[in-house]
Structures are given as C-alpha cells and as structure tokens.
Amino acid sequence: MNRDVENRDSAKKNVVLVDSGGTNIGSVRYALERLGVIAELSADAARIRAATHVILPGVGAARPGMQQLHKLDLIDTLRALKQPVLGVCLGMQLLFESSEESDTECLGLLPGRVRHFDRSASLRVPHMGWNRLQARGENPLLFGLDKNDYAYFVHSYAAPIGDYTLASCDYAGEFSAIVQKNNFYGMQFHPERSSRVGALLLQNFLR
C-alpha cells in the first residue's frame, strides 16, 4: 500500500486523544496530523466511547495522572472500551495494576506493577534518549519494525516483562517497551519523537 492510500485510510479513522492533561498531547496530535489524521481532543465519555481508536497520552507522575482521570470520571469508561486503545509513556504505565510511584493504583488493564529503575545501577535516571527495541515475537503492531530500530525514551519508572510484552528494551535490566492485552496497547517511549519508527508504529496502530 502506498503512502497516499495509507494516509487516506488513516483520515477515515475517528481518533480521540483523551484530554488528561499530559504535556505531550500537542506533539502526539502533530504526529497524527503528519499521518493524515485529525484527532479530536476530548474528556467527554460519550465522545471517547464513539471513537474508532483512543489514545491515552501522558507525561509526568502516576498519582496526578490517575487523579486527573478520576476527576474527569473516565476510569470506568476507559476500562470498558472495546476499540483499540493506545497508552503512550505515562499513559502506558497507567494501564497496569499499580505503580510504585507514590504507591498508585492504576487502571488494572494489564497485570503487574510499574517500578522505579534499579537505584543501585550506575546508569542515569531518568532513562532519557534513544534505545533499541527488541521484538519478542510477531504482532501486527510491529509490522515493519527492524531488529536495529531505536525509539526515544524519557522515564524513571518501567513496566515488567510479561506475556503481554511485544517488545522490550534493556536499561538497568529488561523492561516492557511495547505491550498489548486484548484491545489495549502501550508504548513506553514517545512515538511522536521517534522519527520513522514512531510514525510506523502509530500507523500500524491505526490499521
């Protein structure tokens, strides 16, 4: 499929960005626009339920992120969604059961607890910069991903490895970089800042 056809197909998608206050919302929105998608920013439960694809962005800490979703009364709405849902950065971490950060209960859509990087390691935290994605099997979300492809990360807490891990990364130990369970997907890195690889993975999600 050529790029023009891909962009026309993407433009038909009804994509909603959850207006959860994440500081990366604007950059995610621009990344989607480069793919021909005009994503609506909304905190309205009915509008989110009507979307073909939902993206939960986020930058910051787990507790304020969950507090904002509670304030917007979106917890039950997000948990009940049946269409493809993508959590980005903090948005991915909030898909898990809990976070060690301020001992926060999260959405519980993926099993496990997000934990701080090993403080005894000699690596700088936050993990900031480019790191290699290591696919752990085949999945449509990974279509076109090369074994030497890198993505851009900024985070101090990381999700564990599990059956839901589509791709991992190694920094003070292995952690989940891309996850999926049922219709819920997550990318720990910033696809909107990951050049060709980020655009590829966003396009795969929209398919």
- Mind telling me the catalytic residues? 89, 190, 192
Name every residue whose Cβ is closer than 8 Å to that of residue 162 and which is 6 or more positions away in sequence.
110, 111, 112, 176, 179
CA-based nearest residue to 192, from 83, 62, 88: 88
Strand order in the sheet with 96-99: 104-105, 96-99, 110-116, 157-158
CA separation (Å) from 28 to 10, 89, 118, 137, 191?
Answer: 15, 11, 29, 26, 8
Dist CA 51 CA 37 (whole Å): 13
Tokens of 146: 């090369």
Pairing of the two strands 127-132 and 104-105: unpaired
